[in-house]
């Protein structure tokens, strides 16, 4: 095996890990970064997106539209939950964790009761291609592109649109924004829905690659948390670089010792990072500004 195929293989592994970390974390990061709320039901929004996507795809919708449906349904569910539960808990962040944990229990067990223990999936589209002696899935490349696309889309949303300006004003000084006439409650609702929708999108994108079980959220949630903790509160200066750093750790450990050690490597990395950079990478990058 020559250097080029080896490099491609490493790059592919990195891209795969990066896409997984960023896609599963960005919904969580948006909600946490904007609202200081940790959404423990994040994995269940991912599950919701995946279930809706697969159901829609099996009902005959083309896959991209099915994925969009999954994301939109998740966002709607998120908006409802924000109205019913989260809204009352903004001044009690620890209680939000507990409440969303309760929601996650309800969602997991409820799905098990209503849908059953598994849902037949859809196959991974696009097939594969060959580099050297290994074959690679094209869909994984699509996922990597989607991760970059999501980051770019979020950047545009928060920097170029009116919603983005109002949202950033609301994070910085909520009372000032409110007194200038910004409906901060609406902004919070929309942000939560946006985070839930991103989770649903992640679920939809990964739905063709995995088996659908009610506990599938747990597969994502650890990686998502680790990325958000390492990244800190800012989506662009935090989640993206954290995703890159952790993807290197994860892909290196995985190809060296297998998947479990990839995850253990992530965990060790996060524990070391919080000791050195308690506010995450974005806290480190932004420290001059504060």
Residues that bind another protein (CB under 8 A): 32, 36, 38, 40, 85, 88-89, 92-95, 97-99, 101-106, 108-110, 112-113, 215, 218, 221-222, 225-226, 228-229, 260, 263-264, 267, 270-272, 274-276, 278
Q: How far is the CB of 82 from another protein (least distance, A)?
A: 13
Of the two residues 145 and 274, which places its CB atom closer to another protein in the complex? Answer: 274
Per-residue burial over 132-169, b if 16 or more Cβ lie within 10 Å, else e, is: eeeebbebbbebbebbeebbeebeeebeeeeeeebbeb
Of the two residues 149 and 278, which places its CB atom closer to another protein in the complex? Answer: 278
Residues 13 and 178: their CA atoms lie apart, in Å, by 46
Q: How far is the CB of 231 from another protein (least distance, A)?
A: 12
Of the two residues 122 and 218, which places its CB atom closer to another protein in the complex? Answer: 218
Residues 44 and 56: their CA atoms lie apart, in Å, by 18
Q: How far is the CB of 162 from another protein (least distance, A)?
A: 30
What letter does residue 238 receive in the DSSP assignment? I
Give the contacts of 86 (CB within 8 A, at least 6 positions apart). Answer: 37, 96, 99, 100, 192
Of the two residues 13 and 227, which places its CB atom closer to another protein in the complex? Answer: 227
Q: How far is the CB of 69 from another protein (least distance, A)?
A: 26
Of the two residues 163 and 284, which places its CB atom closer to another protein in the complex? Answer: 284
Q: How far is the CB of 88 from another protein (least distance, A)?
A: 6
Of the two residues 93 and 127, which places its CB atom closer to another protein in the complex? Answer: 93
Residues 147 and 65: their CA atoms lie apart, in Å, by 17
Q: How far is the CB of 253 from another protein (least distance, A)?
A: 13
What letter does residue 123 receive in the DSSP assignment? P
Give the contacts of 122 (CB within 8 A, at least 6 positions apart). Answer: 54, 57, 58, 63, 207, 208
Element of type H or E holding 131? strand 128-131
């Amino acid at each position: 095996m020559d250097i080029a195929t080896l490099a491609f293989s490493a790059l592919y592994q990195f891209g795969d890990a990066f896409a997984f970390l960023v896609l599963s974390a960005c919904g969580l990061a948006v909600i946490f970064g904007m609202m200081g709320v940790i959404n423990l039901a994040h994995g269940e929004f991912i599950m919701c997106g995946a279930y809706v996507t697969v159901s829609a795809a099996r009902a005959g919708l083309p896959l991209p539209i099915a994925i969009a449906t999954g994301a939109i349904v998740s966002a709607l569910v998120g908006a409802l939950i924000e109205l019913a539960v989260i809204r009352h808990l903004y001044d009690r962040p620890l209680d939000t964790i507990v409440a969303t944990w309760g929601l996650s229990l309800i969602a997991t067990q409820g799905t098990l009761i209503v849908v059953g223990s598994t849902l037949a999936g859809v196959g991974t589209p696009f097939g594969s291609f060959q580099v050297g002696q290994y074959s690679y899935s094209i869909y994984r490349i699509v996922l990597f592109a989607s991760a970059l696309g999501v980051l770019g889309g979020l950047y545009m949303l928060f920097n170029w649109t009116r919603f983005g300006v109002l949202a950033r004003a609301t994070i910085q000084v909520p009372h000032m924004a409110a007194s200038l006439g910004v409906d901060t409650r609406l902004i919070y609702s929309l942000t939560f829905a946006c985070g839930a929708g991103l989770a649903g999108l992640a679920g939809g994108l990964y739905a063709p690659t995995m088996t659908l079980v009610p506990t599938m959220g747990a597969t994502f949630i650890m990686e998502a948390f680790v990325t958000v903790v390492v990244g800190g509160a800012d989506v662009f200066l935090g989640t993206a670089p954290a995703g890159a750093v952790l993807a290197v750790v994860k892909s290196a450990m995985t190809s060296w010792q297998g998947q479990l050690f990839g995850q253990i490597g992530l965990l060790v990395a996060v524990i070391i990072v919080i000791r050195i950079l308690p506010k995450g990478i974005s806290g480190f990058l932004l420290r001059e500004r504060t």
